[in-house]
Each structure stands twice: as C-alpha cells, then as structure tokens.
Chain A
Amino acid sequence: MMAARVEAADLEERAAARRRTWLRFRRARLLWLGTALLVFAVLAAFLGPVLFNLHPYRMDVAHILQPPSALYPMGTDEYGRSVLARVLFGTRLSLFVGVAVALITLGLGTTLGLVAAYFPSGDSAVMRVMDALMAFPSILLALALMSVIGPGTLNSVVVLAVVYLPATTRVVRATSKVALRLGYVEAAQALGASRLRVLVRHVLPGIMGPLLVQQTFILAYAILGEATLSFVGAGTPPPTPSLGNILSEAKSVIYEAGWLALYPGLAIAWLVLGVNLLGDGLRDALSVGSRS
C-alpha cells in the first residue's frame, strides 16, 4: 500500500517533468527555426530534382557559364550544367556525409567514452589517444588521412569520423562520470546490476541530452569538413557534385561567373546554420549545461 502510494507520486512527478520538458521544447524558437531550415533543405534536395526534372550531369553546350535565368535559376557552369541541379545533389551528398559521420562517432564515441568513464584502466589509454588526435588541427589531420587512403566520398566519411571522434568521446566520458556518481546509479550497482545493465539502462539515458547536442555540432562540423576537403581536391572528386568541389571549379572562373561561387556557399551556410540552430535550441530545451 505504501509502495503503491510512492509509485503513484513518482508517476505524477514524472508526468510533470515530461510536461515541463515539452513546454521547453515548444518555447525553443531556435529549435524550430533550425528544424524548418533543415526540413526545407532535405525536401529541396530530395524532391526538387524529381519535381523539376533536374540533372546534375546533363550538359547544355549552348548555355555555358550563363548567369541565373528562368531556365537555369542558379545559372550554368563551364560545361553548361545546371548549377541548381548540382547544388541540390551536392546538398544530398553533404547531408549523407554529415549524418553518417554523426552516427559513426555516436556509436564509437559512446562506446569509448563509457569504457573510459567506467573502467579506470581503460581511461588513460583511451583519453591519451584522444588527446593526441585533438592535438592536430582537424582539417590538417583529415587532409593527411585523405592523402593516405585517397579521395572519395566514403573515405571522407571515415576520415571525418576519426577526426571528430575525440569530441564525442570526451563528452560521453565527462557526463557519464557525473552520472555514475548519482544516487540511482549507485543504487543499481548496490542491487547487483551487471556493468552492462548499469551503463545501458542507467548511465546512457542520463547522458542523452548533452550527447545529442554534441552530435548536432558534429553534424555541422562534418558538413563544413566535407566541403573543405572537396574544395581543396582531397574529398569527393568531380564530376560527382559536392558543394565543395563546385566552389573549387568556381574559383577558376570567378571573373566570368561569380554566381557559381555564390550559391553552393549559400547552400552550405543554410545547412550548417540549420544544424547549429537545432543544436542551440536542443541545448536550451534540454537545459544542457545549466539547470535553471
């Protein structure tokens, strides 16, 4: 009877907490602005080419380096290809690379971070390697790794995941160390729950907020990183359109065709701004960092 009453109070408390969280989500304007920007970008990238019959490789030799017009809203490049079509397909590629890198670092970083937080013997080994990786400027390390495994979209994913792995690992380690000292985790341990159960059922849910926020920023970094690698010729090679390699082509014709340099960059900024706003909004909504 006593237990039932405690349980009811507990449930009520939890429902109230859920309502408060939902309220914070609804109030987080940045979150919704970021989501709107991203939803628009995803729709444009995946539906746009289908709806408007856009081809990123089709060359129109009669319209080479044409400024924006009704036929080609973002103009054409030096092969007479539609810049709009290439920007939309480049956006797909950016989204793919960004999401893939965010997911890989999420999986690996969570595992490594939990190991570092839970097993003192693993801590210094894992963290020293992460420190060493972080001693390199990110793009420089990415370039060195790309020079070894060669250019390509999938290779960029692997390399960017290695480069941004320390960031996720550090966040997971730091937040789980705090979580491990919380009462309910200690209670679970005292009750004899297995290590795996403690980590997965009790620690992991507690660190989800900061982790989610961190991964949105990695998504943003990865999109910027992919663009940079492709711009310097180490990422996705042409003719496959990537926002970075379109800008690289634009550099050589910047006198004749400024629009070629304008739109791919706007697309990058749009995507990354959307992700950054989403991250800022999530941080506010989940009140990561401050519990006011």
Chain B
Amino acid sequence: MGTRFVVRRLPSLVLTWILVSVIAFVVMHVTAGNPAAMMLGEQASPAEVARLSRVLGLDQPLPAQYLHWMDGVIHGNLGNSIYLGEPVLRAIIQRLPITLSLTIVALTMAIVVGVSAGILAALRQGSWVDAAVMTVATAGLSMPEFWIGLMLILVFAVDMHLLPLMGYVPFTANPVGWFEHIIMPAFAIGFIQSAPIARMTRSSLLDVLHADYMRTARAKGLGAGRVVLRHGLRNAAIPVITTLGIILAALISGAFVVETVFDIPGVGYMMLQAVDNRDYPVIQGGIMMIASAILVVNLLIDLCYSLVDPRVEFR
C-alpha cells in the first residue's frame, strides 16, 4: 500500500523537485553577475575572465548550463566552492552532523515540551494552566529565535557563567562539552517551535476529547491517563504530524540563523558566509540539497499517517 502511494505521488514530486532546481539555478544565474569575475577578483583582465568562463562553461547558453549542473546534481556533484576551495557536496557533508545534531535536539525539545503543554492545556481547558500555556505559546511565536539565543547567552553565559558563550565541540570528542554547547542554541529554536505544536496538540485533542469512543473508553473502566494517551492522543496526532513538516523547515531555518549567533560551524554558518562572499555554487547546491531533503521528509510524513491512523487511505 505504501509503495503504491509513493509511486502515485512520484510524478508531482519529481515535477516539484525539477521546479525547485530551476528556481535554485535561475535565481543564482540571472543576476549574480559573472562568477568567473568574482572568483578572479578585481585585478583580473577581461581576457582572463573570458578564459575562466570558458573553462567553467559559463559561456554556454543558460539551458545548457542548467542541464550540465543538473547532470552533476544527479551524480552527486554540486560543483566547487569558490572560497572554500573544495567540492560543495563534501563541504556540506562535513558540516551536516553539526547542524543535524542541533536540529534533532531542538526537534525533540519542541515535541516533548509542545505536546505535554498542549495535553495539559486541553485537559484543563479554561483554567489558568490553559491560559498560561496559550499565552506563552503566542509570545513564543512572536520572538525571533536569534534574540532568544542572545538572551540565553546573556543570562547563562555572561551573568551566571554556567555555560560556554559560543562555539562547538563534537559529540565524539566530548559528550558533556557537546551538550553544554548545543543546549542553548537548541533551546532557542526548539522553544519557539514548541509553540505551534502546543497550539495544535491542544486544539486537536479538544476536538477528540468529547468523541463517543472516548466516552466508551472511559465507560469500560480505563484509567484517565490511558484514555487520553491511547485513545485521545492517537486520534489527535494527525493534525500535529501534519505541522511537523512545516516545523522541520522552520527548525532548519532557525538552526541556520542560530548557528551564527553561537558561532557553530555548521551548514547554516557556511551558507551565511557563502551569501556574504557570493559563493554561488555553495548557495545553489546548499538550497538545492535542503529543499530536496524537505520534499522527501514531507513524503515520509504523509506515509506516517497510516501508521498512526490506519483509516487514512493513500490517495
């Protein structure tokens, strides 16, 4: 069943993916100026620029350049970074574990905090707990993650000297050091994304709490906790899972910005430097890889529905 679903979704997914690649390519090529001139610097003569343009294939018409680039993308070759002097794909893969670990810790935090807060608010609907959770959630959605990062630095690093100010230590080198460096940036993005999860959990749980099967479950003597967790949450989970795709994209955006706040040398930090340096192969390859990953994750999330709710028919 799952395979059939994937197969049926494939044409539109591929079409979207190709459009994504066209956007990533066109955006960088129409107005970014001549990359060869940028690589060589200001002293380069027009002849030198023309020669490098030929070597890089920049004298070809745009469609030909696009096809050449896409051929590379499909074969895992995203070109070479102008400033880092290494292949874009290798540069991304080297930094990926850092960004990935940050995103995963943040996502875990967002889900744990968001779902528990949402359950609490739904079970105590109308009480001060509910009001407090919803107020904090609305406030959380109104703050930029990089500012929360700065405030955490101010309190825990500058004032209390509890945590290191900035930087990063790999998990494999020193797990405790890794945790100390990752906790503030992860909280900065995780806290904000827990807000939409809390709101969504609350509203979808409220929708199912009064359903007949909930009354039946209570009537047959199940404990309150079991009723909420086994019957309520499972049925309330689908809208929440739907938002996870959006939340993941937001977490990645957040991770990119927060990496610069905490000087964490991840993919985001690299991409922002690439934006500064107009290192177009890195920007182009980076956004292409991230958008592709998000498309795949969204497909997986769609597949997840069936695990949570067997009634979902794959259409």
Contact = CB atoms under 8 A, between A and B. Distances in A.
A10 interface: no
A201 interface: no
Nearest to B274: A147
Nearest to A147: B275
Interface stretch (A14-22, A70-78, A223-231): A223-231
Contact of B144 (A128, A132, A137, A231): A231
Interface in A224-274: 224, 227-228, 231-234, 244, 247, 250-251, 254-255, 258, 261-262, 264-265, 268-269, 272-273
Contacts, number: 137
Interface residues of A, number: 45
A232 B295 CA distance: 26
A254 B154 contact: yes
B257 A277 contact: no
Nearest to B23: A132
Contact of A131 (B16, B24, B138): B16
Contacts of B261: 251
Contacts of A138: 249-250, 253
B138 A247 contact: no
A220 B274 CA distance: 28
Interface stretch (B25-33, B80-88, B224-232): B25-33
A129 B249 CA distance: 18
Main secondary structure of the interface of A (DSSP, over half): helix
B15 A128 contact: yes
A99 B230 CA distance: 45
A8 interface: no
Interface string A155-168: 00000000000000
Contacts of B294: 135-137
A147 B23 CA distance: 14
A258 B152 CA distance: 11
Contacts of A147: 32, 274-275, 278, 280, 283
Contacts of B37: none
B252 interface: yes
B42 interface: no
Contacts of A276: 138, 141-142
A149 B30 CA distance: 10
Interface of B: 12, 15-17, 19-20, 22-24, 27-28, 30-32, 138-139, 141-144, 146-147, 150-151, 153-154, 158-159, 249-250, 252-253, 256-257, 260-261, 271-272, 274-276, 278, 280, 283-284, 286-287, 290-291, 294-295
